[in-house]
Amino acid sequence: MTHRFPPLCWIGPPFSVWATGQDDGRIQLARGPYGSATTQDTARIPPTIAAYAIATYTRPGDTVLDPDCGAGTVLIEALRAGRHAIGITGHHKWRSIARANVTAAKRDGAVPDGTVLDGPPDATAVRHAGLASHSDLLLTAWRPPLRSRAHGADELDWGTEMAAEEGTATDRLHVLLVQCHAMLRPGGHVIIVVPRRRSRDALLDLPGYVVRAGQAGGLIPVERCVALLGELRGSRLVARASAAQHRSAARHERALGQPIMLPAHQDVLIFQTPRQAAAAALSQPLSGPSLLHRHEGVALSRGSAAA
């Protein structure tokens, strides 16, 4: 696995740092045929991150799959880029919003096929739709559980109150990574976008967990990238933090007695399936290792960007 940090640039081969935060998330949504309800999906992959990943790891005519598609930003960016798009969600709310967005994209001139399936984020819905081993890229966001808004927008709750939901989230991630072989063509890519999260004032090593889960599922780690959420202004990176994130940072500062960095990127973990697809992955049990390992604390001045 590589973890390089070359000069930031859009031109040339894929880089480990993606300049995807030049525009605010709402501006990104306004550029595409997105319904206003899309903003309700706070765990969505920003359109610029989805577009960059799709342009880098697929070609026109390929098929992009998001097995936990939420409001469907990955699907829309795939359609706009001339790729076929398949989304899966078991939530009626997200299914309705994602389908409305796909319809809007088709009305806006998108030619490729786009579909949203009803089902859990694993190979079951893909198999039932006759689309097993059909996709070239699996691109999705990991959606671990959050505390209520009162605790902070970036705070994970691993306490007893959300233990069942936490277990479900990690189990779903594990079974998804195990079953990628049955969803993708041999040699296809798997990209997991991972948010920055804290628990009890410490950063969590969610990317490390995803890498270990991917390797346990037989995937080959290819690259670990940084997708910027902040804006590049010359040599400076300006964080785009919400009021809730500022409040959360202030609370962590009071608890730790030192400055806390604001989130300015999401981690992007890129894997590849072996050339020999493993159809037997469909029979894997829905279970997985439990979280979590924590980062050593790293503090930057409050208001500065962390990447």
**HEC assignment per residue over 136-178:** EEEEEECCCCECCHHHCCCEECCCHHHHHHHHHHHHHHHHHHH
Structure tokens at 215: 């390797």
Q: What is the reported pLDDT for 9?
A: 34
Query: What is the signed CA dihedral for 142, 52, 106, 82, rounded to 10 degrees?
Result: -120
Distances (CA, A) of 11 to 8, 14, 106, 286, 297: 9, 8, 29, 41, 34
Domains in the chain: ranges and CATH: 17-306 (3.40.50.150)
Residue in 232, 236, 220, 180 with CA at minimum distance from that of residue 48: 232
- Sort 148 into a burial class: Cβ within 10 Å, 0-12 / 13-18 / 19+: exposed
Q: How many residues make up the chain in this entry?
A: 307
For residue range 260-292, what is the model confidence (pLDDT) as tens digits?
777 788 999 999 999 864 444 444 433 333 222
Question: Average pLDDT of each block of 10 consecutive residues along the chain (307 residues)?
Answer: 34 70 88 93 95 97 96 98 96 97 96 93 80 92 65 44 52 83 92 84 82 90 92 84 75 80 87 70 37 27 36
Nearest-angstrom CA–CA distance, 9 and 17: 8
Q: What is the reported pLDDT for 168?
A: 62
Q: What is the reported pLDDT for 205?
A: 84
Q: What is the reported pLDDT for 15?
A: 60
pTM assigned to the model: 0.78
Please count the CA atoms within 13 angstroms of the CA of 180 that sit on its side-chain side. Answer: 34
Strand partners, 137: 64, 189
Distances (CA, A) of 87 to 18, 135, 250, 307: 24, 11, 38, 30
Angle between helices 206-216 and 163-183 (to 10 degrees): 50
Q: Are 43 and 141 in contact (CB under 8 A)?
A: yes
- Sort 28 into a burial class: Cβ within 10 Å, 0-12 / 13-18 / 19+: buried
Q: What is the reported pLDDT for 24?
A: 84
